[in-house]
Structure 1
């Protein structure tokens, strides 16, 4: 009995040329940066007090902003993916606006909202709460620019997964909250994990909104990207070394998350 062989699917040969050029465009600058690192001074450059403070602050604030992105982004993505209402397209555009806005514009918007003379900042200041130019401002700035990444990723996962399992659960008498917690979230968990890591990575590299809304005070608001920018003017070797640290941390986060997503 002859065995039926499925034809092997192949790609056009020309596809590999632009693919290789694109990969080279991304990898070559990283390799160029490696050639400029003074490896004999590398440990000293990345373990200085200011460098360690900036790295720890970046990790803390990025983790906090990721938590906020999950708390706000999951409900937003569910509403956008599972409901229809007038003005929904406008709302989606506004939610995704930070993806295309220059981060410094986001920083200005946050400053006029939470600053001392801002829309809400004046009331907060009367209550003795100051947001601008504090660590809280760093978290808010990172959340503002990172939130759309989680919403986009999760909304796409929700639309791809469909609603058939949720409809079955509702037919069997499950309450909306039970359906959401027991059916919807487990089904889109890989998309949620992917969105969360994108949000964390974006928050980790945030610069423009942070320096505009939070300033650059060592140990309080000076994150690693801000430290790199300042060191670039005074100590280029330190700036390159810290840039490499940021690349390594971001790579580790993405790698761990991709493995977790594969396991799920």
Structure 2
């Protein structure tokens, strides 16, 4: 029973952690590229990047199946390289969590980068700093609060992902069953004890992470 309870918890944390790494890197790079820039089609591009934030999870899951299913180009390429399809695997859960968590990270990073005065960055460039030096020694530290809070929120969102994960990764115990899908199955089967324990675990983790965001943004 203990193993049955902890398996979804451990799996959820692992999936959310790997997803958070992908989201953090991609969110920082894209937000930095988009901050302080204006070009034709920018509004459309940003709308596409933020769509998973408002789309129903079932729609996100359906689109992931179309994009990475066995009949898609990406799906066939993945199956050729790894000798198995990505759908209904642990990595499918990571992909689903990454997609739905990305908008939170992107928005937070972009807000942080846009809050930095361009004069500070330009002064460093005048003094001979390269673009990478400006980013790592000026931009990144000044936007650190936004980046860290965005990373925490993205981790929390990835941890709680349900709909897209259920459609794209399935609900295989010990393989793709995360806390949200385990709660769904527990309620459906009448196992309210485990359902309450998983719900309590999710509430506790989410509360701690949001509390951390509050402390970070108020410093």
TM-score, normalized by length of structure 1?
0.78
**What are the Cα deviations for residues 64-95 of structure 1, in whole angstroms up to 9, with x where unaligned?**
10000011000111112132222111111100
Q: Does 1:229 align with 2:156?
A: no
- C-alpha change, 1:123 and 1:48, in structure 2 (3 Å) is same
Q: Quote the residue 2:34 is aligned against.
A: 80
* Aligned-partner SS, 2:175: coil
Q: Quote the residue 2:99 is aligned against.
A: 144
Q: Does 1:251 align with 2:211?
A: no
Q: Quote the residue 1:220 is aligned against.
A: 175
Q: Quote the residue 2:78 is aligned against.
A: 124
* Aligned-partner SS, 1:82: coil
Shift of 1:238: 2.2
Q: Does 1:239 align with 2:219?
A: no
CA distance in 2, matches of 1:79, 1:91: 12
Shift of 1:110: 1.1
TM-score, normalized by length of structure 2?
0.93
Q: Quote the residue 1:208 is aligned against.
A: 163
**What are the Cα deviations for residues 161-180 of structure 1, in whole angstroms up to 9, with x where unaligned?**
23221111111121111111
Once structures 1 and 2 are overlaid, which stretch shifts more, 115-124 or 225-234?
115-124
Indicate if the aligned counterparts of 2:116 and 2:139 stay in contact, CA closer than 8 A: no
**What are the Cα deviations for residues 106-142 of structure 1, in whole angstroms up to 9, with x where unaligned?**
1111111112122310122123242111110111100
* Aligned-partner SS, 1:217: coil
Q: Quote the residue 2:111 is aligned against.
A: 156
Q: Does 1:69 align with 2:23?
A: yes
What runs of 5+ residues in structure 1 fail to find an aligned partner? Answer: 1-46
- Of 50, 56, 59 in structure 2, the residue corresponding to residue 102 of structure 1 is 56
CA distance in 2, matches of 1:80, 1:138: 28
What runs of 5+ residues in structure 2 fail to find an aligned partner? Answer: none
**What are the Cα deviations for residues 211-239 of structure 1, in whole angstroms up to 9, with x where unaligned?**
01000111110000000000001212321
CA distance in 2, matches of 1:206, 1:157: 25
Q: Does 1:134 align with 2:103?
A: no
- Of 53, 60, 64 in structure 1, the residue corresponding to residue 7 of structure 2 is 53
CA distance in 2, matches of 1:209, 1:163: 39
Q: Quote the residue 1:39 is aligned against.
A: none
